[in-house]
Amino acid sequence: MATTRHENPLAFLDEELAELRRQNLYRPLRVMSSAQGPVATVDGREVISLSSNDYLGLTHHPRLRQAALDAVRQFGAGSGAVRTIAGTMSLHEELEDELARFKGTEAVLTFQSGFTANTGVIPTITGEADLIVSDGLNHASIIDGMRLSKAPRVIYPHADVGALREKLAEARAKGGAEGKPHRLILVVTDGVFSMDGDIAPLPGIVEAAEEFGAAVMVDDAHASGVLGKNGRGSVDHFGLHGRVAIQVGTLSKAVGVLGGYVAGSQALRDMLIQRARPFLFSTSAPPAVAAACLEAIRVFLEEPELIDRLWANTRRFKSELRRLGFDTGVSETPITPVMVGDSATAQRFSNRLFDAGVFAQPVVYPTVALDKARIRTIVSAAHSDEMLDRSLTAFDSVGRELGLTTG
Ligand code: PMP
């Protein structure tokens, strides 16, 4: 039988990729061939890494490694099923109990990632009769969670509590379908915004929500292990225990492993087990992951000096960058953006830093606005003074070379 030659139906991808490259928006992957850490081998070169979310250096902490190895020996490599079928192991339940104690909530349910925690919880608890009110700069996983929900949504300008109050007042006055009061109004915010490093104005958000009978959900992906006592997060940082209905966290950043969780009431946990789609339809974390996460929470509690070191490094690095003449935006946390403007400059800046032995990634459109390209840095508790000094020297010389600072 003669075969006919078909045109490649995916040829448009080549054109779209070429366009991304033309606009300096194409992001090649850099490959790490060492363990994650403050110094890592990336694309075959040993560099100081300012790119990971490994705030406390737990990705390679001896206690986490040991916990993972022990779990593999005792329980094997995989969990073998979704939680509701045969994939709930005692380690998952132990981790959730430990996290609930840590967060000071009635209950916790873990997910495979922070991303799936958000896309699991939002559509589970909201529907047509509800309203979601979301910060304009919330994380992609919150946005996707809202897209999966049948609830209408309104966006308030980033961190603007006055605008949030107006939206809530309007929602209360107008009501939902057929003018009936909403069953639930859910205000959702990141605790720490991952591209700018600013902290959500949570006290104002909680007060506004309480005034209008709304519930608050905070995504503490970048606050877990960073803000609050022993890294309990933004609710603890602001002393708002009991006033935030839902706290989402990730086990993939300061915890150093992989996963996400939802902390809140027992009823919330029970309903997520019945309905949250990533929980119901995707396999649970392998034993090594759950065991290492459990050990990480114990490290948070038993080695508070790691968080002290994280903040000391953060203060030093930020103030030195500013002294060198860089614009570090509105950051208040270890996420420190170095604003450079357009994406071509951001790419060049990052490449030149890499040549100088420093791995700091550019963040460009669509992750941030077209003219807000930046180098995003995160220092960790594991960086030594000497590593920070070498990084600052590289920033200084590349900044001058590209005319971003006068030195
Ligand atoms: N929420 C926020 C605010 C985040 O920054 C991230 C990670 N970039 C996530 C959720 C997703 O977390 P994970 O990597 O565990 O899926």
Q: Could you state, in order of their start, the residue ranges of all structural domains in the chain?
A: 21-50+304-401, 62-302
pLDDT of residue 407: 56
Q: Is the CB of 114 under 6 A from ligand 1?
A: yes
Q: Is the CB of 256 under 6 A from ligand 1?
A: no
Taking alpha carbons only, the member of 303, 333, 299, 292 closest to residue 110 is 292
Cα of 250 vs centre of ligand 1, distance in Å, is: 6
Q: What is the CATH number of domain 21-50+304-401?
A: 3.90.1150.10
pLDDT of residue 55: 98
**Rounded to an integer, what distance in angstroms lies between the CA atom of residue 29 and that of residue 52?**
14
The secondary structure of the chain in percent helix, strand, coil, rounded to multiples of 5, reads 45, 15, 40
- Could you tell which of 54, 158, 253 is best to mutate to test the pocket of ligand 1, judged by most ligand atoms within 8 Å of the CB? 253
**Rounded to an integer, what distance in angstroms lies between the CA atom of residue 218 and that of residue 372?**
25
Which residue lies with its CA nearest to atom 6 of ligand 1?
Answer: 221
Q: Is the CB of 221 under 6 A from ligand 1?
A: yes
Beta bridge pairs of residue 222: none
Cα of 214 vs centre of ligand 1, distance in Å, is: 24
**Rounded to an integer, what distance in angstroms lies between the CA atom of residue 210 and that of residue 222?**
25
Distances in whole angstroms, Cα of residue 152 to Cα of each of 33, 146, 171: 45, 8, 11
- CA torsion sign, 31 to 37 to 41 to 42? positive
Which residue lies with its CA nearest to atom 2 of ligand 1?
Answer: 221
Tokens in use for 65?
């490694």
Q: Which atom of ligand 1 is nearest to the CA of 251?
A: 15
Residue 257 neighbours by CB distance under 10 Å:
23
pLDDT of residue 168: 98
Cβ-Cβ contacts under 8 Å for 232 (sequence gap 6 or more): 102, 103, 104, 224
Per-residue pLDDT in tens (0 to 9) along the chain, 407 residues: 556 677 899 999 999 999 999 987 888 899 999 999 999 999 999 999 999 999 999 999 999 999 999 999 999 999 999 999 999 999 999 999 999 999 999 999 999 999 999 999 999 999 999 999 999 999 999 999 999 999 999 999 999 999 999 999 999 999 988 889 999 999 999 999 999 999 999 999 999 999 999 999 999 999 999 999 999 999 999 999 999 999 999 999 999 999 999 999 999 999 999 999 999 999 999 999 999 999 999 999 999 999 999 999 999 999 999 999 999 999 999 999 999 989 899 999 999 999 999 999 999 888 888 899 999 999 999 999 999 999 999 999 999 999 888 65
**Rounded to an integer, what distance in angstroms lies between the CA atom of residue 37 and that of residue 175?**
51
Pick the CATH number of 62-302 from 3.40.640.10, 1.20.120.640, 2.102.10.10, 3.60.10.10: 3.40.640.10
Tokens in use for 147?
């897209």
The CA-based diameter of the chain, rounded to the nearest angstrom, is 74
